[in-house]
A and B are shown apart, each in its own frame.
Chain A
Amino acid sequence: MHSTIDGEQIDRLFRLQGSRAVATLARIFNDLDRAEDAVQDAYAQALDRWPRYGLPENPAAWIMVTARNAAIDALRRERTADAKRQLLANLEALIRVDTSFDEEAMDDRLAMIFAACHPALSEETRIALTLRFAAGPTVTEIASALLVPQPTVSQRLVRAKHKIKRARIAFAIPEAANLPDRLHDVLRAVYLIFNEGYASSTNRSLVRADLCEEALRLAELLERLLPGQSEVSGLHALVLFHDARRATRVDESGELVLLERQDRSLWDRRKIERATSLLEGASRHSAGPYLLQAMIAQEHARAATWEATNWRKILDCYESLAAIEPSPVVELNRAVALAYADGDEPGLRLLDAMAARSALLNYAPFFGARAELLQRVGRRAEARASYSRAIELTQSITERRFLEGRLAGLTPLESH
């Protein structure tokens, strides 16, 4: 039985629980390197012990306590000065059990995200740092998600950790006056965590439930921290709507299922109701990007069938979104919504107008959507080329299999 615990399982546990322990220790030390070293030490011990003695009863608590002990040992090995005595006292006090463990650990996670989103760090650094310490992917995965070389990501992380430590960027939820400055990034961080879980860019399985749930809990915590902020409610509702569909996104064999084909009776009604009531409470006056995206998700959630989807309303939302936060992804979705609302040809025309811009030329979903529309209007040779390009570009194995299925399903061209 013990032999069933392998390195991969340990890795998976440490990805989330390990980054929680890093967050808690970082808050105490104000030093990410120290925190990471202590958790690395706990990881080495887990690799050694777990396969032999079995999984501890509460792996999360084990990781926290073991990392804390490693931190205490490391501090003791150094010469003990007054400041260190205080740190030791804080560490010793860090015995968290049962229910309080999780609640406080979540505060630490939020504090970590606020530190990583500090505006005194450059924007690209904030993204890399948030991904690394909030969602827990490896440097390689971050590099591929951000489309930058791995050494660049490593360098940014090293520099950021140095600045946080030297300039004393606090691991804390900032006071009210500084909240608005950071909220934009913090919301994005939670959204990125959810996305990494919902459409894992590099993972072998498409969905990582642990990250989805982590993002949901962080969104809930933000909502409690900042009640009545429409963008916070919007983000919370958005992740709830998406998460309600999580179980139907992938079939038994792990293949991607399009929204169009999902079994709507299996959607989590409780989450949809919760999200709907969040939106009812939020002010629609000058709606921000998360509220607009949540409103789009709501249209999908409330449609009894794919055919009953109110594309006109969705198109309106994408148009508002394109006006306040234009991006290739928004433009792409707007074109798709237009195709459903007004017909394939106008949608395709908008897509082709967008293709002139280079940002999309390395974006797999652009070619996937274009292939789909080309297929529907009967331009099969072009559809075939567009599917092939999407297959070349996608990082996700599941998505690649899906696209290959679509390509194979295109009836062969008749020779003439």
Chain B
Amino acid sequence: MEYMCLFYVPEDASPGPEVYAECIAVAEEAHRAGAMVNARGLEDASSATTVRIRDGKRLLTDGPFAETKEVLSGFFIFECASLDEAIAWASKLPQSRYGSVEVRPVRALDH
């Protein structure tokens, strides 16, 4: 069974390098234990775009999704050259029609 652990932090939190080092340590420990699947950080919430399709029309919102009645139910990671490509993929997901798809850049590994 795979479990996804999602972290939620205060919007204005700016974690220092010690937080990053701690995450690496956990990942190494999990790797030794054979429990590590994957982990990545995301760019901050202000880089998010929320995609919704309603009546066949695409609606984009600047920022993370803010609908309290919707809950996280899954994820895709796409490799894309630009936000437009990512939005095009997000628009193909059925969840964009009855829920929301938040498109958030995955933080590059070198920072």
Contacts and interface: CB of A to CB of B under 8 A. Distances in A.
B44 A120 contact: no
Contacts, number: 47
* Interface size range of chain B in the complex: 10 to 19
B82 A168 contact: yes
B49 A159 contact: no
Given A120-B83, A170-B84, A162 B49 contact: no
Contacts of B81: 168, 170
Contacts of B60: 119-120
Contacts of A166: 43-44, 46-47, 105
A82 to B, nearest CB: 11
Contacts of B87: 120
30 contacts: A119-B60, A120-B60, A120-B62, A120-B87, A121-B62, A122-B63, A125-B62, A159-B46, A162-B47, A163-B46, A163-B47, A166-B46, A166-B47, A166-B105, A167-B43, A167-B48, A167-B49, A167-B83, A168-B81, A168-B82, A168-B83, A169-B82, A169-B83, A169-B84, A170-B81, A170-B82, A170-B83, A170-B84, A174-B84, A178-B84
B23 to A, nearest CB: 20
Interface string A115-152: 00011111001000000000000000000000000000
Given A120-B60, A120-B62, 4 more contacts: A120-B49, A159-B46, A162-B46, A170-B84
Nearest to B43: A166
Interface in A211-233: none
Interface of A: 118-122, 125, 159, 162-163, 166-170, 172, 174-175, 177-178, 181
A163 B103 CA distance: 12
B58 interface: yes
Interface of B: 43-44, 46-49, 58, 60, 62-63, 80-84, 87-88, 103, 105
B49 to A, nearest CB: 4
Q: Which A-B residue pairs are the 10 nearest by beta carbons?
A: A166-B47, A120-B49, A170-B82, A122-B62, A119-B60, A167-B47, A166-B43, A167-B83, A169-B83, A168-B82
Contacts of A174: 84
Nearest to A118: B83
Nearest to B80: A168
Nearest to A160: B62
Nearest to A178: B84
Contacts of A125: 62
A163 B48 CA distance: 8
A162 B44 CA distance: 10
B34 to A, nearest CB: 33
B83 to A, nearest CB: 5
Contacts of A162: 46-47
A162 B62 CA distance: 12
Contacts of B48: 167
Contacts of A120: 49, 60, 62, 83, 87
Nearest to A174: B84
A163 B49 CA distance: 9
Contacts of A121: 62
A175 B63 CA distance: 24
Contacts of B80: 168
